[in-house]
């Protein structure tokens, strides 16, 4: 009976792999095309592919069991980023702000999703010091820069509010090391993924503060795609009892 059960589990994983692998390959292919377009400044290609890269990742997440609770919140978060990616393309301030709001909601759903696995309040409290200190740093040291430019001053206030969401998400991801049922592998996937999300969004903020650097767009989009993949992988590792493509 035990051998028969193990065989059926192996067969199920193989069938699931055949369903999910094409979506993973498509995600990698579209991501690499976007990175190439960003690095070579082929903006028509970049904007044509960028909004849709997340779709095969969503399909991969679904086929690996992402529709089951508590993983469903991460599926919602991935879906929000798809619409956020579309909104962030436009130069219109209202549409761009809508994109930021969608990404803020993404961070909220990710943080809420991670919180469904129990951990100690002391662990979360310790990790919450990180976003608190970063926001304090930004307020003290970047406010003089923002005050010199009215447009930047407005964006600065929005950025601080946005930072609360993304840094809370980072906190909840890193706290996975103390979560019940989480081994160091998925906790590391979650932590690195959340950190890369923060890095990507920080580079976007620097660009808004009129900081320019060669290939900045490449680093923004590559770190963003990697962050989404790692965050999705962290919960799928728990869902599948291991890492499978």
Average pLDDT estimate for 54-62:
93
Cβ contact 43:37 at 8 Å: yes
Mean pLDDT rounded to a whole number for the chain: 79
Domain ranges for the chain = 67-240
pLDDT digits (tens, 9 = 90+) for 194-225: 999 988 988 877 766 655 667 888 999 999 99
Q: Which residue has the tokens 């010091």?
A: 129
The residue among 142, 187, 185, 172 whose CA lies nearest residue 160 is: 142
Measured N-to-C along each axis, helices 72-87 and 93-115 cross at an angle, to the nearest 10 degrees, of 170
Q: Residue 215 and residue 77: Cα distance in Å, rounded?
A: 27
DSSP code at position 32: H
Cα separations in angstroms, 37 against 47, 58, 147, 205? 9, 22, 35, 21
Q: Assign 150 a pLDDT band (cuts: 50, 70, 90).
A: low
Q: How many residues does the chain have?
A: 245
Task: DSSP for 160-215, please give it.
Answer: HHHHHHHHHHHHHHHGGGGSTT--HHHHHHHHHHHHHHHHHHHHHHHHHTT---TT
| pTM across the whole model | 0.80
For residue 79, what pLDDT is reported? 94
Tens digit of each residue's pLDDT (9 = 90 or more) over 82-134: 999 998 887 777 887 888 889 999 999 999 999 888 876 555 555 555 555 55
Neighbours of 200 (CB within 10 A): 21
């Amino acid at each position: 009976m035990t051998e028969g059960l193990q065989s059926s589990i192996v067969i199920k994983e193989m069938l699931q792999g055949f369903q999910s692998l094409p979506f993973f390959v498509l995600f990698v292919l579209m991501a690499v095309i976007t990175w190439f377009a960003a690095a070579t400044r082929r903006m028509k290609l970049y904007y044509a592919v960028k909004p849709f890269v997340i779709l095969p990742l969503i399909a991969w997440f679904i086929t690996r069991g992402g529709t089951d609770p508590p993983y469903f919140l991460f599926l919602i978060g991935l879906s929000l980023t798809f619409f956020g990616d579309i909104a962030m393309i436009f130069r219109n301030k209202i549409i761009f702000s809508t994109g930021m709001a969608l990404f803020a909601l993404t961070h909220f759903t990710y943080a809420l999703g991670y919180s469904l696995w129990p951990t100690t309040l002391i662990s979360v409290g310790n990790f919450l010091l990180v976003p608190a200190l970063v926001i304090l740093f930004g307020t003290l040291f970047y406010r003089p820069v923002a005050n010199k430019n009215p447009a930047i001053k407005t964006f600065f206030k929005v950025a601080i509010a946005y930072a609360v969401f993304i840094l809370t998400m980072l906190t909840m991801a890193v706290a996975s090391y103390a979560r019940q049922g989480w081994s160091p592998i998925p906790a590391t996937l979650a932590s690195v993924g959340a950190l890369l999300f923060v890095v990507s969004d920080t580079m976007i903020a620097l660009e808004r503060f009129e900081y320019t650097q060669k290939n900045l767009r490449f680093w923004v989009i590559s770190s963003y795609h990697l962050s989404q993949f790692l965050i999705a992988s962290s919960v799928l590792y728990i869902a599948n009892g291991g890492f499978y493509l």
